[in-house]
Amino acid sequence: MNQILLGILKSHANKQSFLNQLKTFNEKPNILAAVVACVDSRVLTSKLLCSNVGELFIERNPGNFVCCEKSSLEHFNENCVTPGFLELTLLRCRINDIIICGHSDCRAMNLLNNLGKCKHEKSHSYLAHHEHQPINVHNENNQMKSSPLEKWIWENGCKTLQNFNLKSDILSFKSSIHPKCPTLELDLTLTKHLTEIDLLSQANVLQQMINVYSYEMLTNQLAQNVLRVHGMWFEFYSERF
């Protein structure tokens, strides 16, 4: 905490630069994009994207997920902030670009991978939901409450994992909901130097891009090509996108 307080004092001493940027933004707002990034403390989104004050709207969550509006587990996603974030940025503020930003060594993707292994061992009964096995929703909710993080990761990451586990050289991601949604592909033969978790993280970025197309409120913007959906993936140790 002392380090944080010292940082505040240091920032206050150099506040003129910030105030100048804020004044410039207030006089001529220039919002570049909405960004969905991970909560990982190493992901300094504004710094990585070299943005100035006011240029980015950022939502952060474990796994940089965009909750799918047409989720088969809709009752579990009722507290998801994504719909509000998308409405604020893409509709009310009329931002035309949204970026899904993933990264290497992602703990959320590591957990997703482990949960997938647990599913096959049947040690977490609720993980079988997407295999259409009969479950007791009340009991499932009670189980999930014991681990909010596992619930969040599985609900929003299972589609990524299902596709990734096909073990095809080229993974394809597409939407059955929106006709304008492009098919996105990840060529695993070009990324053999990456770990399994990093490959899963890259696949997840593509799946979350597809999920943006699941929102009915964005139909017109997407159909008219007004809204552009981008994916970025950052490798920490090489400092490359």
pLDDT in tens, 110-160: 999 999 988 655 545 545 544 434 334 344 444 545 589 999 999 999 999
- Any domain includes 50: yes
Q: Which residues define the annotated binding site?
A: 38, 40, 103, 106
Structural contact between residues 145 and 79, judged by C-beta atoms closer than 8 angstroms: no
What confidence score (pLDDT) does residue 78 get?
A: 60
State pTM to two decimals: 0.82
Say which residue the tokens 């990761």 belong to: 153
| Structural domains counted in the chain | 1
CA–CA gap between residue 211 and residue 67 (Å, rounded): 7
What confidence score (pLDDT) does residue 146 get?
A: 56
CA–CA gap between residue 77 and residue 220 (Å, rounded): 24
- Any domain includes 9: no
What confidence score (pLDDT) does residue 215 get?
A: 94
Q: Which amino acid does the sequence have at 76?
A: F
- Any domain includes 74: yes
Please, what is the Cα angle at 195 between 191 and 198, to 5 degrees?
80
- Any domain includes 12: no
Q: E strands within the chain?
A: 33-37, 56-60, 97-103, 170-173, 184-187, 228-234
Q: Which amino acid does the sequence have at 124?
A: H
Q: Which residues of the chain have pLDDT under 50?
A: 72-76, 123, 126, 129-142, 144
Q: Which residues define the annotated binding site for Zn(2+)?
A: 38, 40, 103, 106
- Any domain includes 59: yes
| CATH number for the domain harbouring residue 111 | 3.40.1050.10
CA–CA gap between residue 154 and residue 156 (Å, rounded): 5
What confidence score (pLDDT) does residue 25 get?
A: 77
- Any domain includes 3: no
Structural contact between residues 163 and 173, judged by C-beta atoms closer than 8 angstroms: yes
- Any domain includes 119: yes
Domain holding 84, by residue range, is: 21-234
- Any domain includes 2: no
